[in-house]
Structure 1
Amino acid sequence: MSKNNNNNKKKKNDTIYRKARKRAAEFNVKFKSIEWANEAIRVSNDQLSNYELGLYKQLPVDSVVRMADAYNAPELMNYYCCNECVIGKLTMAPVELCGIERLTIQILAVLNSTSITKIKESLIDKDNER
């Protein structure tokens, strides 16, 4: 298999579960390897590897909850509900996590569109009534 094919396969199998473990490894070295992470998740090496490679059609809910907790990644539960759970696919909306910079821009855009002056005047009027 060529180097390009290996890179494509690796990227294709870079699931949200693997990404969450890799992010968690930045703060906790035990998550750098599946062998250590599986103890926190309470699954076998093979199971966790298969979760991360996307080889399971639907992961067990309790494993997803344990991963979300161990990796401090609550977005895993939202992803599971929106993409893997039969009922959740029909009823849940995905939550987008973003950095503080993007969040600040979104807040400013909302404030600009709702007339910051009216909001400011309303707050000042309420404060003067005290």
Structure 2
Amino acid sequence: MKKATKASDNKYYIARYNAAKTNSDFESRETTSEVLGIDRTRLARIELGNVEPYPEEVLLMAKHYNAPELTYNFCSNDCPIGRLTMKSVEISSFDRLSLKILGSLNDIEELRGSIINISADGKVDIEELEEFQAILNSLEDISNNAKALQLWAMKNIQQQN
């Protein structure tokens, strides 16, 4: 499959391009549109970034392209509620994700101690706010790294039914 220049940085195009490496149905928009049930012109407009896909279309692409990150990142970037509550994640290699997880868990005992100290009186005092914010940031890092690893597993490990 020849790489398109106009759509080369579009996440939906990239997912289709990667899927085409193992499934020739995704080498062209024509055959892809038949598989997905999305009009070829609409698929082109999505891949060119001219229109945002509907959630149902993202679900179809994620399933057929084996790209679960599309759904998660759609929710964290394109959904108004998701933008407020989720942070987008990047799926990298297993070894890199493992190191990120281990790195974020490295200070878990320190976090535990800080949470115990702050919560001892049942409230967060003004002098504890900076430490509490650091705890929240660390927990967000752990959560994001765990989500990235979960998405990697969904993408790379065949589930036994």
1:10 counterpart SS class: coil
CA-atom RMSD in angstroms: 2.2
Aligned length: 106
* 2:12 equivalent among 4, 10, 17: 17
Determine the C-alpha separation between the residues in 2 that align with 1:39 and 1:75. Answer: 22
Q: What corresponds to 1:54 in structure 2? A: 49
Determine the C-alpha separation between the residues in 1 that align with 2:22 and 2:105. Answer: 35
Q: What are the within-5 Å matches in structure 2 for residues 34-73 of structure 1?
A: 34-56=29-51, 58-73=52-67
- Aligned residue identity for 1:27: T
Q: What are the within-5 Å matches in structure 2 for residues 1-130 of structure 1?
A: 10=5, 14-56=9-51, 58-109=52-103
Determine the C-alpha separation between the residues in 2 that align with 1:89 and 1:106. Answer: 23
Instruction: Give the conservation status (yes or no) of the 8 Å contact 1:68–1:76.
Output: yes
% identical equivalent positions? 39
Deviation at 1:106, TM superposition (A): 2.5
Task: Provide TM-score, normalisation by structure 2.
Answer: 0.58
Determine the C-alpha separation between the residues in 1 that align with 2:105 and 2:87. Answer: 24
Deviation at 1:105, TM superposition (A): 2.7
Determine the C-alpha separation between the residues in 2 that align with 1:33 and 1:14. Answer: 17
Instruction: Give the conservation status (yes or no) of the 8 Å contact 2:76–2:86.
Output: yes
Deviant stretches of 4+, over 4 Å: 110-115
Instruction: Give the conservation status (yes or no) of the 8 Å contact 2:7–2:13.
Output: no
Determine the C-alpha separation between the residues in 1 that align with 2:29 and 2:50. Answer: 15
Which ranges of structure 2 fall in alignment gaps of 5 or more residues?
A: 110-161
Worse-matched range after superposition: 22-31 or 83-92: 83-92
Instruction: Give the conservation status (yes or no) of the 8 Å contact 1:14–1:52.
Output: no
